[in-house]
């Protein structure tokens, strides 16, 4: 039996606030509980509250005499949803208040109805004064947690553009499978469906869609003619430039976008894809099946190759390392809620262990492309500096060494590698560095 969209949204957001899984994971688990016609509303509420959480949270806390207890975070989610509807949706204010009060009853918390009504009506009355009093707080000025504002400000000249892009809705970017169809032809197929697209500036296979489509509406999607993938991520396979017969490792491979792209560029590749979690490995398998390509899929820990490696050295390695994902917050806005400053040092340690371990599987003369979707120097250029310092047979190369015709003007050259920043209506934040084993 289906449930109201707002009720399911409150339950999803409660789980996110309790740090019991990512927003995308929780939506996947619970969205089927909502009637199909209302699923768009549920997603809008969930993504919207997460996208504007720093501002909404600051407003909400200013309205409450004391924060909600952990057992009532579903009510806090309801309050945030009410504020989001007032601030960012076309819902009439009185309807937003009414729906939020009714949501308390649906959550079996009748006692909270008067509180919800009073808080939201106070915000309606005093909105301008409240916003003026809070305006100087970083969470309000930049709609980001204070610690992220501090970190992003280290990119002095890029700071404002990072904030603007991070808070925007992400553009829909697709990768055309040019082993099936040319980018120009696919662009024409989109036009036949009244969908306008423009070519990506740096990826030779990408198209930005003027308006988002359901993937099922993309021409020949089920036949593998196109995949949804950001332009920055599309650069990985092109930079590694795989050739038929080469033995390649895709470490930390899920969800398989880059795995599939490598095989599109070189179908005769001897490719091994490693992923720690079985359900994520299943996503890779599904993606490859749709593209009509195959690879050796291994459920294993990339930092422990002794458990899965057959001792045959790899010619090339793509290491898209686990990271803070601070370059793709607009696609994963719950990062604004769940990512904490202490996470960075823990991730740096994980990245270093995977780097050291996978390096042992690379043959002499082989190449490793290190990638993250992070904007944190500790995870990127500083990680590379530490690795080069402790690894005598590692040498950094120009990023387009294997793909000399590919422009590398897509980012900012830093002490090691290239840092890509998120851009409005363009690419996500990313980082790349190319190493060779001497």
**Residue 376: Cβ-neighbour burial (10 angstroms; 0-12, 13-18, 19+):** buried
Residue 68 to residue 55: CA distance in whole angstroms: 17
Token pair listed for 87: 């601030």
Taking phi over 0 as left and psi of -120 to 50 as alpha, with beta for the rest, 417 belongs to left
> What share of residues in the chain are helix, strand, coil (percent, to 5)?
50, 15, 35
**Is 219 exposed, middle or buried (CB count within 10 Å of its CB: 0-12, 13-18, 19+)?**
middle
Q: Which of 368, 375, 369, 361 is nearest to 423 (CA)?
A: 375
Sheet-wide strand order for 206-209: 197-199, 206-209, 172-176, 226-228
List, in sequence order, the alpha helices (H) in 241-379. 257-265, 278-291, 335-338, 341-359
How buried is residue 82: exposed, middle or buried, by Cβ count under 10 Å (0-12/13-18/19+)?
Answer: buried
Q: Which of 46, 50, 373, 433 is catalytic?
A: 373
Is there a catalytic annotation at residue 50?
no
Residue 72 CA to residue 10 CA, distance in Å, equals 11
> E-strand spans in 102-179?
172-176
318 has which bridge partners?
250, 369
Backbone angles phi, psi at 357, to 5 degrees: -70, -50
Query: What is the dihedral angle through the alpha carbons of 255, 259, 261, 262, rounded to the nearest 10 degrees?
Result: 170
Secondary structure (3-state) at 71? helix
Interhelix angle 53-63/39-51, nearest 10 degrees = 80
User: What is the C-alpha to C-alpha distance for residues 336 and 168, in angstroms, rounded to an integer?
Assistant: 13
Full pLDDT tens readout for the chain, 438 residues: 899 999 999 999 999 999 999 999 999 999 999 999 999 999 999 999 999 999 999 999 999 999 999 999 999 999 999 999 999 999 999 999 999 999 999 999 999 999 999 999 999 999 999 999 999 999 999 999 999 999 999 999 999 999 999 999 999 999 999 999 999 999 999 999 999 999 999 999 999 999 999 999 999 999 999 999 999 999 999 999 999 999 999 999 999 999 999 999 999 999 999 999 999 999 999 999 999 999 999 999 999 999 999 999 999 999 999 999 999 999 999 999 999 999 999 999 999 999 999 999 999 999 999 999 999 999 999 999 999 999 999 999 999 999 999 988 999 999 999 999 999 999 999 999 999 999
Hey, which residues does 297 pair with through a beta bridge? Answer: 273
């Amino acid at each position: 039996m289906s449930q109201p969209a707002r009720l399911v949204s409150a339950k999803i957001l409660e789980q996110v606030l309790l740090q019991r899984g990512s927003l995308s994971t929780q939506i996947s688990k619970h969205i089927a509980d909502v009637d199909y016609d209302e699923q768009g509303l549920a997603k809008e509420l969930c993504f919207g509250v997460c996208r504007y959480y720093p501002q909404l949270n600051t407003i909400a806390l200013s309205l409450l005499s004391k924060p909600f207890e952990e057992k009532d975070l579903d009510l806090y989610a309801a309050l945030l949803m009410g504020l989001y509807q007032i601030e960012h949706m076309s819902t009439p204010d009185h309807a937003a208040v009414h729906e939020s009060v009714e949501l308390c009853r649906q959550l079996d918390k009748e006692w909270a109805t008067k509180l919800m009504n009073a808080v939201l009506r106070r915000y309606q009355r005093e909105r301008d004064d409240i916003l003026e009093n809070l305006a100087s707080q970083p969470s309000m000025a930049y709609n980001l947690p204070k610690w992220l504002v501090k970190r992003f400000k280290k990119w002095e000249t890029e700071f404002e553009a990072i904030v603007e892009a991070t808070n925007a809705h992400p553009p829909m970017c697709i990768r055309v499978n040019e082993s099936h169809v040319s980018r120009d032809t696919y662009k024409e197929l989109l036009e036949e469906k009244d969908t306008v697209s423009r070519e990506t500036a740096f990826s030779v296979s990408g198209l930005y869609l003027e308006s988002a489509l359901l993937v099922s509406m993309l021409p020949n999607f089920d036949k593998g003619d196109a995949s949804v993938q950001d332009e920055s991520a599309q650069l990985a396979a092109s930079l590694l430039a795989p050739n038929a017969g080469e033995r390649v490792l895709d470490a930390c491979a899920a969800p398989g976008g880059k795995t599939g792209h490598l095989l599109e560029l070189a179908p005769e590749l001897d490719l091994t894809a490693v992923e720690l979690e079985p359900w994520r490995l299943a996503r890779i398998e599904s993606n490859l099946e749709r593209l009509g390509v195959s690879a050796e899929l291994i459920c294993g820990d990339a930092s422990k190759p002794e458990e899965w490696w057959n001792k045959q050295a790899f010619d090339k390695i793509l290491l898209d390392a686990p990271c803070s994902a601070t370059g793709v917050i607009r696609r994963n806005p719950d990062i604004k809620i769940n990512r904490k400053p202490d996470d960075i040092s823990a991730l740096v340690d994980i990245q270093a262990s995977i780097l050291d371990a996978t390096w042992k599987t690379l043959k002499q003369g082989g190449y490793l492309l290190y990638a993250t979707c992070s904007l944190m120097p500790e995870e990127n250029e500083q990680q590379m500096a530490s690795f080069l310092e402790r690894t005598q047979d590692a040498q950094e190369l120009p990023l387009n060494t294997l793909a000399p015709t590919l422009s590398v003007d897509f980012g900012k050259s830093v002490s090691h590698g290239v840092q890509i920043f998120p851009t409005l209506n363009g690419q996500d934040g990313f980082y790349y560095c190319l190493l060779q084993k001497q």
